[in-house]
Amino acid sequence: MSVSPAAPAPASAPRSASAPTQAELLGFVRRAVADADLIASLPLDPEGRTWVRLEGPGGSEAWLIGWPPGTGTGWHDHADSVGAFMTASGELKENSLAVRLPTDGWTTLELTGGVDRERRLATGEGRAFGRHHVHEVLNESTDRHAISVHAYYPPLPRIRRYSRTGQTLRLEQVERPEDWQ
Ligand SMILES: [Fe+2]
């Protein structure tokens, strides 16, 4: 597996018959997590998240990410990309919504009860997700870094960021890949 410096992904990648599936992306992140040298190559910073761009399968966008204690992504989705991620070290928590929300056409949305899901992903545990998956990922540890591997296809054209107050989800920002941290 090659590691290259972080660089903006192309704005769009051609879809092809060989587009990787969620299962293939999960297989990729599983193999990456098992690559001890790769995981150890990630610089860790106690002050903030770190990341290294990886070459994902079939033109997918992949990242190795380091999470200091107490850091998280905030609520977001990945528009039309499907993806997978897995914890390589430490533990991550994922809060997600069990319903598939439209990515476009709204700025605030009132969620019904019972749509929240919570997963704890210990080292070696991961998940795949479909289009329009809304979630936040956190390292809730007070003293331990977490490391994870992520893959998305198509390469992320944009990320939509939301604030969450109770059951209300509000669109706050649309980020391009070069903004994404
Ligand atoms: Fe995400």
Domain membership of residue 3 (yes or no) is no
Q: How far is the CA of 67 from the centre of ligand 1 (A)?
A: 13
Q: How far is the CA of 35 from the centre of ligand 1 (A)?
A: 22
Q: How far is the CA of 160 from the centre of ligand 1 (A)?
A: 10
Domain membership of residue 64 (yes or no) is yes
Per-residue pLDDT reduced to its tens digit, 90-144: 999 999 999 888 878 999 999 999 999 999 999 999 999 999 899 999 999 999 9
Q: Compute the average pLDDT of residues 145-156.
A: 96
pLDDT of residue 156: 86
Domain membership of residue 5 (yes or no) is no
Please give the full DSSP string across 34-92, using - where no structure is assigned: T-HHHHHTS--BTTB-EEEEEE-GGG-EEEEEEE-TT-B--EEE-TT-EEEEEEEESEE
Q: How far is the CA of 115 from the centre of ligand 1 (A)?
A: 18
Per-residue pLDDT reduced to its tens digit, 5-51: 444 444 444 455 589 999 999 999 999 999 999 999 999 999 999 99
Q: How far is the CA of 137 from the centre of ligand 1 (A)?
A: 7
Domain harbouring 114, CATH code = 2.60.120.10
Domain membership of residue 119 (yes or no) is yes
Q: How far is the CA of 84 from the centre of ligand 1 (A)?
A: 9
Domain that holds residue 176: 22-180
Domain membership of residue 76 (yes or no) is yes
Domain membership of residue 8 (yes or no) is no
Before 154, cis peptide (omega within 30)? yes
Domain membership of residue 13 (yes or no) is no
Domain membership of residue 4 (yes or no) is no
Structural domains of the chain, count:
1
